[in-house]
Structure 1
Amino acid sequence: MPSELLYAAKHAKGFMPVPEGLALYETACRYGKLGPICEIGTYCGKSAIYLGAAARQSGTVVVTVDHHRGSEEIQPGWAHHDPTLVDPRFGKMDSLPTFRATIAAAGLEEEVIAIVGRSERVAALWNAPLGMVFIDGGHSEEPVTRDYEGWAPHVMPGGALVFHDVYPDPADGGQAPYRVYLRALESEAFEEVSAEGSLRVLERVAPGL
C-alpha cells in the first residue's frame, strides 16, 4: 500500500487495526479487478482509505454507503461515542463532514463515491454486480442481517463478501456479525478464503444466500 495512503489511514478516525486494514487492502486489490467495491458502513472514512487505495491499484471504484447518523454503539452514552461528531444544530451524530475531509485529504475523491442513506434502502435500488462487498455497518442483529440480505446477492461469481468484527468468543465482542458470517457459510454460496483478526473474507462459489 502506498506509504502516504497508509499514513492517512492510520491517522483517520475509526476502528480498523492496521493489520486488518492491510488485509482489507490486499483483498480489495484482488477482487476489485472483477468489479466495483461496495462498503457498508462508512463512518469517518478510515477503511474507505484502504479500499480507495486498492480501487486505484485495481482500476475500479469504491461505493460507500452510510446514513452518517451513527450506529447504536457510537451514540451518546456508549463506549465508542465521539462527541466531536455531534451536530449541535440537530443534536444528532453526523460523520459525513469528517468523512469528506478524510477522503479529500487522502486524495481519493475520484476513487471513493459516497452514498448517504440507509443500507437497506440503497440495496433495494442497486442492480450492478459487485466484485466485493464489505459489511461493517451496525453491529447488532437487525442491521447486520439487513446488510447481508440486501447486499450479498449483488456479489458476482468469484467475488468476495467480507465481514468485519467477527468474534467467535463473546468475551471479545458482539456476536451478531459472527452469527451472520456463519449464516453465509451455511448457505454454501460462500466459502472462507482468508482471515485476519476479526476480518473474514468469503468468496462466492454458488448462487443464492
Structure 2
Amino acid sequence: MTETVLVFPAGTPDALKYRSEAAERGHRVVGASSLAWNPEAGRYDSWEYLPYVHDPDFAEALRRLIERLGVTAIYSPHEVVSAHLAEVLPGLSAKVSLISVSPLLAKERAYRALWDRAAEISAAPDWFGGGAPRLAGPRLAGLLRFVDDVPGMSDNDKIAAMIEVARHVPAGDIVEIGSWWGRSAALLALLSRHHDLGPVLCIDPWRADALAQGVAMLDKASAAMNLDDALTIFETNLAPLADGRINYIRATSTVAAERYCPSLTVETEVLGRTVYAGRIALLHIDGNHSLERVTEDVENWTPYMAPGGWVVFDDYVWAFGDGPRMVGDAWCTRHADRIARSFVMGTALFVQLEP
C-alpha cells in the first residue's frame, strides 16, 4: 500500500529535500502551506492549504485533510510547527505518524556527533611525532562536514589517516589517480589549504572504456553510469575549493603522466588555472583496480615521488579482487630500502618514503 506523506510547511529547502527522498521511496507526497500562493506547489503530487498553526481552525482543517487524502505520515521541517503537531496529532488520528518530532534538535545532535568525531581524531596518539600542528575543534569538524557531504567511498578510518598524514607531507604536488565525484579530492584540497601544501592534481578519464575492472558485477554497474554527469558533479563539488589549489586532467593515468613535468600548468573552465611543481609529495592511487591498471599507475607516477613523500594504495583491502594489494606488496618489497614506514588504515595502505 502506497504511503501518503504530508509535508507542512512544504516550501522550505529541508521540505523539498524530504519530498525528493520520499518520492524516491515511492510515496505519494502532498505539500501544504499557509500561504495563499507558493512557487514550490508544482513539485508535489498535490498541494493543499492549511491555516497557520496558531489559528483556532488549524486542528480541524488538518483532521479533514488527513481524512480526505488518506494521510499516513506527516513531516515538518519547522521546529515550532513540528512541536505543535506532536501535541495535536494524537487527538486527530492514531494512525498518522509524525516524522522527526524535533528537526532542529536532530540537527544539533548531528553536529554534536560531528564534534565528538573531530575530538576523537584530535585525541588519537601522535603516530609519527613532530609535523605540523593538528587540526582540531570546529576547523576539523568543518572539514569533516564538507567532506561528508560529497558522495564517495572513503571510509572514516582512511579519512582520519589522511588528516594525520597531511601533517607530515613534504613540499610537492598532491596527485590523485581516480577522483570520480571528488570526495577524497575535496579532503586533499582542504588539507592542502590548511597546511599550505602543494596543489592537488586529479587524474580521471571519466570515460566508459576505462571503467572495466574484470569483475562482472562492478562492470555492469559501471556501464549504467553517466560519465559526463560524473565530471560535472566533481566540478560542482570542487569549484568552491579551487583558487589555484586543485585541478584535473581528463585522461588515463598513462596519458596524464606524459604531460607531468615541472611548472605544469593546468587550466579548466570551472576550476581555473593551477601550476604544479612536477614532483609528488602525496600520491593517492584510487583508479581502476585491475592488476594491469594499478601496475600502470604505480609505474607511471611513483618515479616522480619526493623524498619523504607518501603513496596511498586505496582499496588495498578490496572485496572484489586483489589488484591493489598485489601491486602494493610488490612495490613495497622492491623499494624496501627506501621505505620509512607503512601501515594499513581502513581499507588503504599508506607508505612513506625515507626523507
- 2:287 and 2:222 map into 1 onto residues whose CA distance is 17
- In the TM superposition, what are the counterparts of 1:176-191 in structure 2 within 5 Å? 176-188=323-335, 189-191=338-340
TM-score (norm 1): 0.82
Instruction: Give the structure 1 partner of residue 177 of structure 2.
Output: 40
Answer yes or no: is the 8 Å Cα contact 2:339–2:354 preserved in 1. yes
Pairing partner for 1:17 from 144, 155, 161 = 155
Q: Summarize the Cα distance change of 1:14–1:135 in structure 2 as closer, same or farther, 3 Å threshold.
A: same
C-alpha deviations, 1:138-175, integer Å up to 9, x for none?
A: 001111010000001111111111111002xx7x3410
- 2:328 and 2:311 map into 1 onto residues whose CA distance is 9
Instruction: Give the structure 1 partner of residue 238 of structure 2.
Output: 103
Answer yes or no: is the 8 Å Cα contact 1:28–1:37 preserved in 2. no
Percentage of pairs with the same residue = 25
Pairing partner for 2:290 from 136, 140, 156 = 140
Which consecutive segments of 4 or more residues in structure 1 shift more than 4 A? Answer: 82-85
Answer yes or no: is the 8 Å Cα contact 1:26–1:54 preserved in 2. no
Q: Summarize the Cα distance change of 1:205–1:141 in structure 2 as closer, same or farther, 3 Å threshold.
A: same
| Structure ID, larger Rg | 2
Q: Summarize the Cα distance change of 1:146–1:79 in structure 2 as closer, same or farther, 3 Å threshold.
A: closer
Higher relative contact order (CA 8 A, sep 6+): 1
Q: Summarize the Cα distance change of 1:44–1:80 in structure 2 as closer, same or farther, 3 Å threshold.
A: farther
Query: Is residue 130 from structure 1 mapped to residue 288 from structure 2 by the alignment?
Result: no
Q: Summarize the Cα distance change of 1:120–1:79 in structure 2 as closer, same or farther, 3 Å threshold.
A: closer
Q: Summarize the Cα distance change of 1:79–1:146 in structure 2 as closer, same or farther, 3 Å threshold.
A: closer
1:79 positional shift = 7.4
C-alpha deviations, 1:80-133, integer Å up to 9, x for none?
A: 8378841xxxxx5652101011113xx311222111111111112222111111
Equivalent residues, number: 195
For structure 2, list consecutive stretches of 5 or more residues without a partner in the other structure.
1-134, 262-277
- In the TM superposition, what are the counterparts of 1:35-184 in structure 2 within 5 Å? 35-59=172-196, 60-69=198-207, 71-72=211-212, 78=218, 81=221, 85-86=225-226, 94-104=229-239, 107-110=240-243, 111-127=245-261, 128-167=278-317, 172-184=319-331
1:78 positional shift = 2.9
Instruction: Give the structure 1 partner of residue 15 of structure 2.
Output: none
- 2:150 and 2:279 map into 1 onto residues whose CA distance is 29
Q: Summarize the Cα distance change of 1:115–1:8 in structure 2 as closer, same or farther, 3 Å threshold.
A: same
For structure 1, list consecutive stretches of 5 or more residues without a partner in the other structure.
87-91
TM-score (norm 2): 0.50
- 1:180 and 1:108 map into 2 onto residues whose CA distance is 32
Q: Summarize the Cα distance change of 1:82–1:98 in structure 2 as closer, same or farther, 3 Å threshold.
A: farther
Instruction: Give the structure 1 partner of residue 343 of structure 2.
Output: 194
1:197 positional shift = 1.4
Q: Summarize the Cα distance change of 1:196–1:135 in structure 2 as closer, same or farther, 3 Å threshold.
A: same
More helix by share: 2
Q: Summarize the Cα distance change of 1:180–1:76 in structure 2 as closer, same or farther, 3 Å threshold.
A: closer
